[in-house]
Chains A and B, each alone.
Chain A
Amino acid sequence: MKLLFNIFLIFNLSVSGFSDHNSSEVSLPLKFRLNGLSTQSAFDPARDKALETTAKLTRNNKLIAMGAIVSPQGHILTKASSCVGARIATLSNGEIFKLRIKKRDEDLDLALYQIISDRNDFPHVIWSENNSTQKIAWVLSAFTELNEIRVGITSAKPRKIGREGGVMGVILGNESSKGVRISEVVPQAAADKSGLQQGDVIQKVEGRMVKKRDQVVDLVGKKDPGDVVSIIILRKNTLEEFKITLGHRSVTFDLFNRNLQMSGPVSKRKDNFPMVIQHDLPLPKEAMGGPLFNIDGECVGINIARVDRVTIYSLPSEIIKDMTENLVKE
């Protein structure tokens, strides 16, 4: 009897011991994951630098972009197309300042602001002297609340991103001597908002007769998102003119892109950059404009576009460093 009891007990112990051991292994605790707090703390010196030199830019108490403090006088560099109307900068120590705009560079999609203050002791980024290399390297940025960082690696070759051009948001159909038929209008896109309909025939774009789909694409694509294009439409034997404010290709055709459907909000402008570094930090589109650092805490770039759920482009320091230093001096 005694023997049986012992065996039973040992059996029980071993089973529970086994399952306990394994349940702790079932999934990796959050703190040890790539962006867990334990992993983040290995980035310590760089983390502090990232947090103290990144600013939150808000409009009506809503985060619209982040920025890099680039001078002791409190100049802040950020993404131009995201920060329109930015009024307030908040720093990681909780200090809040009003802002004034100094300069916009539409080509690079950058804007320079300055904190309204007499101080000249703001902690600011130190630009990296190393050019963006072909090697894979750790990078980090401050997260939106300026109390944590996000880490990841540069994930592809540094490269130029071509221009996309504006779009009306229509799918072109049959070609004829009268023009090009619209076979579909993308809901909520530029053409839809201006009143174009399925079945309309595009006869002229910017005053030029069009008979081929390629002609329409070329004429419209020469213009940028936000530009207005004039279209003559043949609808039920009458001609009508429409003025259409063009949209962004990537935003307009999101509906057709499965990857983007799962991505959450992405940046509107994510094309036409002379050079970008690609990385995979998990940051929302409101975090664009903020600085990107290497593990030594040097600023290697400015996050300029959230492209999809796992892709962010940054403008490398080598193309913005001199320009920024000159602007600050002005």
Chain B
Amino acid sequence: MNIFSRVLLLIAPVIHADVVTVAAWEKKAPENTDDLISIQIRLNELLPQTQKALVSIESGDGAGSGIIVSEDGLVLTAAHVIGSTGKKMQVRLPNGKRAPAITLGGSEISDAGMLKITKGGPWPFIDVAPKNNSKVGDWCFGLGHPGGFDKERGIVVRVGRIIAKKNETMQTDSRLLGGDSGGPLFNFAGKLIAIHSRVSQKPDQNFHVPIESFHANWSYFRDQALVSHKSMQKGGFFGVSCEETELGLIIREVITGTAAEKAGISAGDILLEVNGEHLDSREEFIILISSLEPGEEAKILYQRENAQCSVKVKLGVRPQATEE
């Protein structure tokens, strides 16, 4: 027997097993106790490596959670946990140790936020899932410090499935409580797929920031840019309302007298690019437009029926919010 046939013999059963066995968490639903045990074992396997990078984030007036994604201490969390950029905060690791941190950027639209630990390291960190790595139905698990750090209780773990997903927001039936905000949501490969954002009135329909929002704006957030409702006020204004659908970013309404109307955009058009940058979400569109000044030109690529059209528009001034 030569070495090649030996290798073949060794790997052949494995290949065979791969073909016939579908992991329990990849089925439409677990079918029996064996599937449930597989899910339970998998979850317990993934916990040690994911829990060690979890932090509780403490500011003067509250606490949230976050997850370390790099050896030098970059932390992903929720925008409503960091509040503003350049703010001093403290993070607490699972062993109770504290480290100073400073808030970076994020987006109030998707609720994505970033923070950097400023002293110490190297830090334990987890892998971030690539773009479009998760879909509706995927099993997931969440970690957090609801109500703040509690050494006796430890990290709270919850399991569930993705029940809806867009690039701007994700919904799961994994449970959440105040203080979980900013905590990580992982898939069953142990990769970070989202950050806890908001609880819904129904405990089994909670909102998370999909990792896609971070990927789309990674360097922007890291360089301390916070897309806030206030900062958008000063930026350029196009004048449409749009919605993320399966077909793309569809324009639902064009506001009269705005740049969009003058450019001949109409409801039903699908937005594709701004200044050559491809659009995946409503958030990316808003960030790109409001990062330009009123009066500046933007090149908009859009699709109408079967044709792609490109138009240059001079952005307007965002009307003042009327609520205040």
List residues of chain A with CB under 8 Å of any chain B CB. Answer: 11, 18-19, 22-23, 25-28, 31-36, 38-39, 42-46, 135-138, 152-153, 155-157, 159-160, 258-259, 262, 278, 280, 282, 295-296, 308-311
Chain A residues within 8 Å of B158, by CB: 153, 155, 280, 310
- Interface size in chain B (residues, C-beta < 8 A): 47
> Which residue of chain B lies nearest to A31 when distances are taken between CB atoms in the complex?
B29
The 3 closest A-B pairs by CB, nearest first: A22-B246, A310-B175, A38-B29
Is A39 a contact of B135 with CB atoms below 8 Å?
Answer: no
B323 close to A (CB within 8 Å): no
Bound form: Cα–Cα A276–B105 in Å = 40
Chain A residues within 8 Å of B43, by CB: 136, 153
Is B147 a contact of A282 with CB atoms below 8 Å?
Answer: no
Neighbour of A136 across the interface among B35, B157, B161, B203, CB < 8 A: B157
Name the distance in Å between B73's Cβ and chain A's nearest Cβ. 26
> Which residue of chain B lies nearest to A297 when distances are taken between CB atoms in the complex?
B33
Count of inter-chain pairs, beta carbons less than 8 A: 121
Chain A residues within 8 Å of B37, by CB: 295
B61 close to A (CB within 8 Å): no
Bound form: Cα–Cα A259–B171 in Å = 19
Interface string of B60-97 (1 = CB under 8 A from A): 00000000000000000000000000000000000000
B288 close to A (CB within 8 Å): no
**B8-52: which residues lie under 8 A (CB-CB) from chain A?**
28-33, 35-37, 39-40, 43-44, 47
Chain A residues within 8 Å of B28, by CB: 32, 38
Chain A residues within 8 Å of B47, by CB: 136
Interface centre among A25, A32, A45, A296 (most CB of B within 10 A): A32
Chain A residues within 8 Å of B311, by CB: none
Bound form: Cα–Cα A105–B158 in Å = 32
Chain A residues within 8 Å of B174, by CB: 34
B57 close to A (CB within 8 Å): no
B6 close to A (CB within 8 Å): no
Chain B residues within 8 Å of A155, by CB: 156-158
Chain B residues within 8 Å of A18, by CB: 246-247
Bound form: Cα–Cα A148–B47 in Å = 30
